[in-house]
Structure 1
Amino acid sequence: MTKENFRFYIKVRTALNIPARIIYDELCPVCGDQAHALRTVEWWSKLFREGREDAEDEERLGRSITETTSENIEQVRSLINDNPHITIQEMEVQTGLSHGTIHRI
C-alpha cells in the first residue's frame, strides 16, 4: 500500500469522525510491518480535521535528495582521473557538492 493510500484511508476515516487510535488499530492487522506509527496516523488525522484536502506530499524547498546523478558521478570521476591525489575538500570547492555526496560517489 502506498503512503498516499494510507493517507487517503486516514482522511476518509477522519471525515467519519473515527479517532486516530481506532484508525491505527484498523491499519495494523491489515498492513502489519508496513503500517504507519500511531503518531503518524494522529498527525495526518489532525491535518485532515484542520482542512487539508490533499493526501500527497507537498513540494519541499531545498536541495534535491538525489545528488548522485550520472552527471555528478562523471564530474567527480573526471576530477579523480585528472588528479588521483585530489582531496574531497578540493572536489567540494570545484563541484559544489557536499562532502557526504562526494564520499558516497
Structure 2
Amino acid sequence: MCHGYREEFKKASSPPPHQQQPPPPPDIPSGSLLNLETLLAALDAIEIYISSQVRTALNVEATTIHDELRTVFGDEAPSYRTIARWAQWFREGREEIEDEERSRRPVTESTPENIEEIRSIVSDDPHVTIAELQEYTDLSYSTVHRILSDHLELRKITARYIPKQLTDYQRSERVRICKEYLSRFTEGG
C-alpha cells in the first residue's frame, strides 16, 4: 500500500490526519470523481483493520488495541465492542470482518395466503384472540396483529373484531340506537 502522500501530510501537520483536511494534490482537479476525503477515510479503515489484526496476532488485549486506536484516530476509532469482536474473530482464524450470512425469518410473513387464512378464521369466529390466531397459523404475534390492523383493517372491540370503517347504514343505525337509549334514559325507563 502506498502511503507517500499521507506520510508527507503526517509530517507537515501537527494534528492527527482525521482532524484536518489536506488540500487536494495539484494533479487532481477539484470536483473530480475522486474524493480525497473518502480515500483517506478508506485508508484509515484499512489501517485500523490491519492494525487490529496484527496487534491481536501479537496477543495484545482488545482494551489496549482500542486505547491505541482512540489515541491515533480519536472519535473516528471503532468502539471497544467492535475491536473486541474483531479480535475474537481473528483469534478464530477469520480473515474478513464482514458478518457471516445467517438464516433468518422471511422479511415479511404478511403474504396473501396468510392474510386470507386469518380473514377466514376471524370471519368464522370474530371473538378469536391473537394468541389463538398465532396457534392456528404459526405466525408471530406482531405479524398477526399487523395483518389484522393494517391489511384487514380490523380492530378489537369488546373481544370482537369489527371493521374500522363503518358504512353509512352502520353509522345511521348506531345513531338511531343511541338516540333510542338516550330517550329511554331521559324518560326514566
Aligned to 1:60: 102
Closer, same or farther in 2 for the Cα pair 1:9/1:89, shift >3 Å?
farther
Amino acid at match of 2:111: E
TM-score by length of 2: 0.36
**Shift, 1:87, TM fit:** 1.0
Summarize the Cα distance change of 1:75–1:40 in structure 2 as closer, same or farther, 3 Å threshold: farther
Q: Which residue of 1 aligns with 2:68?
A: 22
| Shift >6 Å, 4+ stretches | none
Percent identity among equivalent residues? 34
1:8 and 1:69 map into 2 onto residues whose CA distance is: 39
Unmatched segments (≥5 aa) in structure 2: 1-41, 57-64, 148-189
1:13 equivalent to 2:51? Answer yes
- Ranked by relative contact order (alpha carbons within 8 Å, sequence separation 6 or more), the top structure is 1
Task: Point out the structure with the larger helix share.
Answer: 1
- Give, as a single letter, the amino acid of the residue that structure 2 aligns with 1:84: P
Number of residue equivalences = 93
CA RMSD between the two structures: 3.6
